[in-house]
């Protein structure tokens, strides 16, 4: 659907009538992507990061973060178990940990691809050649949030990084053929409603296949610890407007939303979302991948998470997706 920037701003700002917006987004979701909720098994395989994003708990400047990195075997094993549990998509996310070289990631992707799953990578900014090699090895989707389209804000929050570079990564990924996932945080210090409206138009403009929207949650071991953070309501309105703008894309109910309220993901699923990414990381690693405080399910097992969210999904009359859950039926591609 076409919306002017002013219309988007009006919808984002309208707290009074948000229930109507949520209802409308829910109806559009049902019409375009149906009642299936696609589950992605999320593996957080390293919290080692060369970047120093002001908002992020695993920024390299956080000397208090206890660092970990899964071995290749551990990562592959975690993915195998997730596939055995029935996940048809495996999402591998980490800080920007350069120990995972181009070749190493290729090897990992090639092996995991044999488990009959779609593969999503989310390991930050890399070269065009790396992205291309991983795609050829069998990676299907890539997730890298633009975070904000306000360039000044971006440069304040992500020292030593440039907005242009991140933007170019997104364009490269799309060009290579990945299903492209991006998104933003809402409630960043100094972020305006107008800038969020701009973000949504940007995501539409670059034709994302998936858009993740989450509230910014201040982490006590970061420079932004005393900031207010984003509200669940604003994050939800943003997500709902995204659904109206791009009716058939994949939209996750984000973990950060549930970290603000125990009903966060369910409410998100009822206001436009159609994807959930249960954590399948095991043991202590879950706690240590602490982007923000109050992260849910840190003491749970993969099986518990899958069963728990599965029951919640069915309790609201929805069904667990049985396929790979690509945007508009796109299937995993074969490795080159
Ligand atoms: N290195 C990868 C993964 C980053 S972590 C990359 O660069 O894409 C995944 C996402 O968590 C980030 O893109 C950011 O949007 C979100 N995030 C980080 N810190 C956060 C915080 N304090 N509150 C909410 N979300 C946060």
- The tens digit of pLDDT for each residue in 7-66 reads 999 999 999 999 999 999 999 999 999 999 999 999 999 999 999 999 999 999 999 999
Strands (E), 145-303: 179-186, 210-215, 275-276
**Best residue among 130, 185, 212 to mutate for probing ligand 1, ranked by most atoms within 8 Å of CB:** 185
The Å distance, Cα 48 to ligand 1 centre, comes to 13
Q: Which atom of ligand 1 is nearest to the CA of 95?
A: 1
Q: Which residues does ligand 1 sit against, CB inside 6 Å? A: 55-56, 93, 95-96, 122-124, 144-145, 147, 185, 214, 216-217, 219, 256, 291-292
Strands (E), 179-252: 179-186, 210-215
What is the spatial distance between Cα 75 and Cα 280, in angstroms, rounded to a whole number? Answer: 11
The Å distance, Cα 97 to ligand 1 centre, comes to 14
What would the pLDDT profile of 144-181 be if each residue is shown by its tens digit? 999 999 999 999 999 999 999 999 999 999 999 999 99
Judge whether 233 and 261 are in contact, CB under 8 Å: no
Q: Whose CA is nearest to atom 4 of ligand 1?
A: 95
Sheet order of strands, 275-276 included: 275-276, 36-39, 319-320
Judge whether 269 and 318 are in contact, CB under 8 Å: yes
Question: What tokens does 288 get?
Answer: 């240590």
pLDDT in tens, the chain (336 residues): 789 999 999 999 999 999 999 999 999 999 999 999 999 999 999 999 999 999 999 999 999 999 999 999 999 999 999 999 999 999 999 999 999 999 999 999 999 999 999 999 999 999 999 999 999 999 999 999 999 999 999 999 999 999 999 999 999 999 999 999 999 999 999 999 999 999 999 999 999 999 999 999 999 999 999 999 999 999 999 999 999 999 999 999 999 999 999 999 999 999 999 999 999 999 999 999 999 999 999 999 999 999 999 999 999 999 999 999 999 989 999 999
What is the spatial distance between Cα 140 and Cα 332, in angstroms, rounded to a whole number? Answer: 6
Long-range contacts of 260-268 (CB under 8 A, 24+ apart): 260/215, 260/217, 260/231, 260/232, 260/235, 260/294, 261/232, 264/232, 265/309, 265/312, 266/312, 266/316, 267/22, 267/232, 267/236, 268/236, 268/239
The Å distance, Cα 115 to ligand 1 centre, comes to 27
CATH value of 33-227+277-322 in 3.40.1160.10, 3.40.1550.10, 3.40.50.300, 3.20.20.70: 3.20.20.70
What is the spatial distance between Cα 37 and Cα 77, in angstroms, rounded to a whole number? Answer: 25
**Best residue among 49, 60, 216 to mutate for probing ligand 1, ranked by most atoms within 8 Å of CB:** 216
- Judged on CB neighbours under 10 Å (0-12, 13-18, 19+), 31 is exposed
Could you tell me what percentage of the chain is helix, strand and coil, using 3-state DSSP and rounding each to the nearest 5? 40, 15, 45
Q: Report in angstroms the alpha-carbon separations of 21 from 4, 31, 78, 239, 272.
A: 16, 15, 39, 10, 10
Helix (H, G, I), strand (E, B) or coil at 96: coil
Phi, psi of 138 (to 5 degrees): 130, 0
Q: What is the DSSP secondary-structure string of 196-215?
A: HHHHHHHHHHTT-SEEEEEE
Judge whether 187 and 145 are in contact, CB under 8 Å: no
Judge whether 69 and 285 are in contact, CB under 8 Å: no
What is the spatial distance between Cα 289 and Cα 148, in angstroms, rounded to a whole number? Answer: 22
What is the spatial distance between Cα 228 and Cα 219, in angstroms, rounded to a whole number? Answer: 11
Scanning the structure block, which residue is given the tokens 């979701």?
Answer: 29
Judge whether 257 and 275 are in contact, CB under 8 Å: no
Q: Whose CA is nearest to atom 13 of ligand 1?
A: 145
pLDDT score of 2? 86
């Amino acid at each position: 659907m076409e919306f002017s920037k002013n219309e988007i701003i009006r919808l984002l700002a309208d707290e009074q009538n948000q229930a109507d917006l949520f209802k409308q987004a829910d109806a559009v979701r049902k019409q375009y992507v149906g009642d299936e909720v696609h589950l992605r098994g999320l593996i957080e395989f390293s919290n080692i990061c060369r970047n120093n994003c002001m908002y992020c708990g695993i920024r390299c400047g956080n000397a208090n973060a206890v660092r970990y990195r899964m071995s290749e075997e551990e990562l592959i094993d975690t993915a195998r178990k997730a596939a055995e549990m029935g996940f048809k998509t495996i999402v591998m996310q980490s800080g920007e940990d350069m120990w995972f070289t181009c070749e190493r990631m290729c090897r990992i992707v090639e092996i995991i691809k044999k488990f009959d799953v779609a593969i999503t990578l989310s390991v930050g900014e890399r070269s065009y050649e790396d992205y291309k090699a991983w795609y050829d090895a069998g990676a299907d989707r890539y997730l890298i949030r633009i975070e904000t389209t306000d360039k000044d804000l971006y440069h304040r929050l992500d020292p030593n990084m440039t907005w242009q570079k991140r933007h170019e990564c997104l364009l490269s990924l799309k060009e290579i053929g990945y299903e492209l996932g991006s998104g933003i945080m809402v409630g960043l210090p100094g972020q305006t409603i107008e800038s969020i409206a701009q973000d949504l138009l940007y995501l539409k403009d670059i034709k994302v296949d998936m858009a993740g929207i989450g509230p910014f949650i201040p982490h006590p071991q970061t420079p932004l610890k005393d900031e207010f953070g984003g509200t669940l309501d604003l994050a939800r309105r943003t997500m709902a407007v995204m659904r109206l703008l791009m009716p058939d894309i994949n939209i996750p109910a984000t973990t950060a939303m549930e970290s603000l309220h125990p009903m966060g993901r369910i409410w998100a699923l009822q206001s436009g979302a159609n994807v959930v990414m249960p954590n399948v990381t095991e043991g202590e690693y879950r706690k240590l991948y602490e982007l923000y405080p109050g992260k849910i399910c840190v003491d749970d097992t993969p099986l518990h998470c899958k069963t728990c969210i599965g029951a919640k999904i069915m309790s609201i009359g929805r069904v667990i997706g049985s396929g790979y859950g690509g945007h508009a039926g796109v299937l995993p591609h074969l490795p080159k």
